[in-house]
Every structure is written in structure tokens, then in C-alpha cells.
Amino acid sequence: MKNKNPLWLDNAVFYEIYPQSFNDTNGDGIGDFRGIIEKLDYIRELGCTAIWMNPCFESPFGDAGYDVSDYMKAAPRYGTNEDLKRLFNECHKRDMHILLDLVPGHTSVEHKWFKESLKAEKNEFTDRYVWTDSIWEEPQGMGCIRGISDRDGSCAVNFFSHQPALNYGFYKCDRPWQQSMDSEGAKATLEAMKDVMRFWLGMGCDGFRVDMAGSLVKHDEDGKGTIKLWQNVREFLDKEFPEAAMVSEWGEPDKSLQGGFHMDFLLHFGPSHYNDLFRCEEPFFSSRGKGDVSEFVKKYTENYEKSQRKGLICIPSGNHDMDRLARSIHGDNLKIAFAFLLSMPGAPFIYYGDEIGMRYVEGLTSVEGGYGRTGSRTPMQWDNTTNAGFSSASKELLYIPMDESPDRPTAQAQMNDKNSLRSEIKRLIDIRQSRKALQSRGDIKFVYAEKNEYPLAYLRGSGDEWVLVIINPANREVSFDCRFTPVDTIYSFGGEIKVEDGRITVPPCFAGYFEV
């Protein structure tokens, strides 16, 4: 059965905001909530109807905020809880929705729960994290923090070594210190996380993107325990916040949607072959035309068949963890990539700046645990004023150095140019929003997706409205047999197709949508 979901999700187009790099209004070099509010009209004008904002909670920022030290307090550098509430309201005024980033798998070492759990005397937080019972025993395969507590034991970590793993129990226990999912400690952690959700949903946020959602229950290879845990959360939400939208960073929709999530991402990790499209040696969307889309389509179809009635699968343009799309895909091929992204089922996610083809900035020193990801997190380029309109701070104060290239793209220039990438994306979103067949819940049937071949063709449909999508990123003419005859052109970029005896010839670097 389909997970109950908020109706707005069905035709939502998301925009991901990395708050520190978006818009700085008080000149400290770091983006802030007021800055986001100022730019909501820009996002709406592009056609996006929803926002996912990366973590904005109190944190020592060893992992850009994915190391939370207080789940219920906005990080002062972005503003206050009141400001955040205003951001929710300003979104709603524009008929937009906003998801916060929930990080349930781990906290910062500075979280008061962790400080309490370090103590030798037993207390409320002794079992809040995954601890072994001897400093000499490491939790296998997880990495750990040890030697900094009075308590005798080692604490498992979830990501960096300063992110202790919260305890939701083990699916299979084989050591005395491992607690089951039903243990008091594990249950208390989950209840505490529900309180965090209650807090923000009560304040007006529309749901969560959930960080590392598949990582919570340990020793859970097939994800059965973690699925069960999220089903418990689903029950709570159905009861108290049936309108809340839940999107997982899991990368395996067949599992996450069973857990009651409305959507899951296909990502740079996991079994999806997402990287074959945009981020590998020969990406399918490169004009070289040496890529292969067939493995991606195979996996997609598998996932789709397993999960389509339950929820959605979404393919992001990128995110704060991946190389910028424009690092490997260039020029017109970016438009072609978006013609694909904006005609697939599931809600599209546009990473801030991808709409103007912001570049990956090479050679930067890591900022706040970004490492190689830092080059994808540089300040948004708004216009040609100081610091591209991002901030009035002096250069050294900027959160991350700007792209300094003289021809760096800006939002303003692209808004004034009807041939820009941004204008193309705006058109594509408009078309998507005007046709049910192209929206999130419309069906998909692949027509042509052969190994090492171009183009890619698929039908999108709903009821008796069907649209044929033809995508040819390769810089050469290609053709394929097709039993559907394109009648009217809904959208085309890069020339015209020829149809003859059931064979369609497609010009180089082309994307088109057709009524059939």
C-alpha cells in the first residue's frame, strides 16, 4: 500500500540550500536565515516549490553541522529559533514547503547527552550511545572514541571519529554489551528523537530529510531492524503529524519506503549506478557519448517495481557531498541533463547553484570537515557586486573562498538571458508542472536504454496522457526503433528529430518531449 503522504509532495520540485553558503545578511561571511528569506522569491521564480535545508542546529561544526550539539536550538550563526520559525512562515506564505535535516544517527561529542554518557556513574544517558563495556574492546567494524571517559568502555562512531553513534540497539547481538532494539536504552533514544521531530514540526517545519537513515540499527545487514524502527516512527507521525514529509538519505528505496519514508534518493553511494549518469570516467551525460545508461536503468526499474506503490525515488542534480554537476558535464549538456532530471518520476532536487551551472572549485583547503566536498559548497553567485552578492564581508572572512574565475556564472546574468541554463530549467519546470504525466507520480516505461548506446528514451504517463522523452547527450546523430510515433512536440532542445518507418533519428546533443 502507498504510504499516506502530504499532497503537496506529488508535484514538489525541491531546492537544496546549504545555509552557510547561500546568502549572508549581516556581513560575517556566513549565510543566515534572513538571507534565505530574502531569496525565497528567487527560488519560487525558478519554479521550485519546496526546500531542503542542511543542518542548522547548534554544533561545533566539525562536519558542517552534521555534528549536532543541541537538536532543539538553531545555530546562532544562522539566527534564532524565532528567525527559523519566520523562515517556515515565509515559505508557507509563498505556498512553499521546507524540510529540515534530521541527523538521528550520531551527535557531536559536545552534546550534553554524550557528556553525561562519559560519566562513570550510571545515569539517564549511560545507554544513549553504543558503548562497549571495556576500554580494551572496540565495537567491531565501527571505529570508536576511547580514552576520554571515566567510564570503562569504547564508544562506537557513525561517521567521523568525533560523531558518536546513538544507540538504537543491535538487530543481532553477539556480545554482552550489545543491546537489543527493545532494550530500555535503545527505546529511550528513539523517543528522544521523536521529541526532536515533534519540536520542529510543532513549530511549522514540513518534514525532514533524514541523514544516514539506513544506519541506525547495528548489525543489521539487510536493514530489517532499521526498517522496523522507521515503521515505528511512521506510526507516530501518522498519529501526530500526518502531513509531515519524510525523505531518506538511504540510497535503497526498496528498503526505506518499506520503513514508511515517502521518498528516497538515488546517490553516489549504494547500488543505484547513479554515478554512471554524471560522475564517472565516461558519464552518460557527457557529450563524448561513451557512457552507459543501461545499468542505471536496470537498477532503477528494479527499484521502481519494488517500491512504486509505496513512495517515490528521486534523482538529485547533486548535493553537498558530491562533486558539482558542472565538474564533469559542460555547456549544453547541462541543459540536457536537466531535461532528464525534470522529466523523471519522484520529486526533482536541485542543489543550490546547479541551476546556473556553478563550478566545482578546485584546490580548496577543507572547511568544517568538507575535504573534497568543500569545492561543491562555495558561496552562491548572485550578481557582479562584491563577493558575487553573497556577503559584504572581506574576502578572508568568507565561509569558503568564492569561485574566482572571471567568467563565473551568476544568477542575475542568467535571469536576464533567455538562453541560459537557468532559463532552460525554469521552462522545463513549467512544462513539468503543466502535465500530470511528467510529475512525480506519473508512470515510467523505458523504451530504449541499450548497453553503451544512445539515446535514452522513455514514456511518462498518467491516465491516457503519455509523453515520449528522448535524450541524446552524445555529440553525434543517433537513431533507434520506436513503436510510438511522436505527434506533437512539447519541448525540444538541439534541433529536430526525424521519424521514418518506426525509426527515429535524433540530432547530436538533443532533448525532447513529445505527445504520442
Which residues sit at the interface with ligand GLC, rule CB under 6 A?
63, 66, 103, 159, 211-212, 249, 320-321
Our CB check for ligand GLC shows the closer of 40 and 68 to be 68
Q: Pick the closer one to ligand GLC by CB: 78 or 514.
A: 78
Residue number, 84 or 157, with CB nearest to ligand GLC: 157
Minimum Å gap between C-beta 147 and ligand GLC is 23
Helices then strands, each counted (H, E), the chain: 12, 20
433 vs 466: CA distance, rounded Å: 15
Residue 9 backbone phi and psi in degrees, to 5: -65, -25
CB of 66 to ligand GLC, least distance (A): 3
Instruction: Between 320 and 460, name the residue whose CB sits nearer to ligand GLC.
Output: 320
**Closer CB to Ca ion, 56 or 337, in the complex:** 56
d(CA 40, CA 15): 10
Cell of 141: 567494524
Q: How far is the CB of 389 from Ca ion (least distance, A)?
A: 14
Residue with grid cell 536541485, as numbered in its chain: 350
What are the cell numbers at 388? 558575487
Contact by Cβ (8 Å): 88, 51: no
The region that residue 379 occupies, defined by phi over 0 for left and psi between -120 and 50 for alpha, beta otherwise, is beta
Minimum distance of Ca ion from residue 386's CB (angstroms)? 15
Which residues have CB under 8 Å from 222's CB, separation 6+?
A: none
Instruction: Report the DSSP pairing between strands 57-58 and 70-74.
Output: antiparallel
Q: Which residue is nearest to ligand GLC (CB)?
A: 66
Query: Which helix (H) or strand (E) covers residue 16, if one does?
Result: strand 14-17
Which option in Ca ion, ligand GLC, none does residue 342 bind, with CB closer than 5 to 8 A by kind?
A: none
Closest to Ca ion by CB, 32 vs 264, is: 32
The nearer residue to ligand GLC, 79 or 318, going by C-beta atoms, is 318
Q: Compute the least distance from the CB of residue 367 to Ca ion, in Å.
A: 15
32 near Ca ion, rule: CB under 5 A: yes
For the bound state, the minimum distance from the C-beta of residue 421 to ligand GLC, rounded and expressed in Å, comes to 25
- Grid coordinates given for 290: 561513451
Q: 401 by DSSP, 3-state: which? A: coil
Asked if 227 contacts 255 with a C-beta cutoff of 8 angstroms, the reply is: yes
**Contact with Ca ion (CB under 5 A) among 26, 81, 462, 475:** 26
Is residue 28 a contact point for Ca ion (CB under 5 A)? yes
Q: Which is nearer to ligand GLC, 5 or 108 (CB)?
A: 108
Task: Select the binding partner of residue 216 from Ca ion, ligand GLC, none (C-beta < 5 to 8 A, by kind).
Answer: none
Contact 249, 213 (CB under 8 A): yes
Return the range that interacts with Ca ion (CB under 5 A); candidates 32-40, 253-261, 445-453, 504-512. 32-40
Closest-CB residue for Ca ion?
32
* Chosen from Ca ion, ligand GLC, none, partner binding at 32 (C-beta under 5 to 8 Å by type): Ca ion
Which residues pair with residue 503 across a beta bridge? Answer: 481, 500
CB 190 within 8 A of CB 229: yes
Distance (Å, whole) CA 440 – CA 247: 14
Q: Which does 321 bind (CB under 5 to 8 A by kind): Ca ion, ligand GLC, none?
A: ligand GLC
Total residues contacting Ca ion by CB under 5 A comes to 5
**Cβ at position 271, least distance to ligand GLC in Å:** 16
Partner from Ca ion, ligand GLC, none binding residue 30, C-beta < 5-8 Å depending on class:
Ca ion
User: In whole angstroms, how large is the CA radius of gyration of the chain?
Assistant: 23
Distance between CA 44 and CA 343 in Å, rounded? Answer: 19
- For the bound state, the minimum distance from the C-beta of residue 209 to ligand GLC, rounded and expressed in Å, comes to 9
Which residues 6+ apart lie within 8 Å of 196 measured at CB? 71, 72, 102, 104
The binder of 28, among Ca ion, ligand GLC, none, by C-beta within 5 to 8 A per type, is: Ca ion
Between CA 187 and CA 216 the distance in angstroms is 12
CB of 402 to ligand GLC, least distance (A): 21
Contacts to Ca ion by CB under 5 A:
24, 26, 28, 30, 32
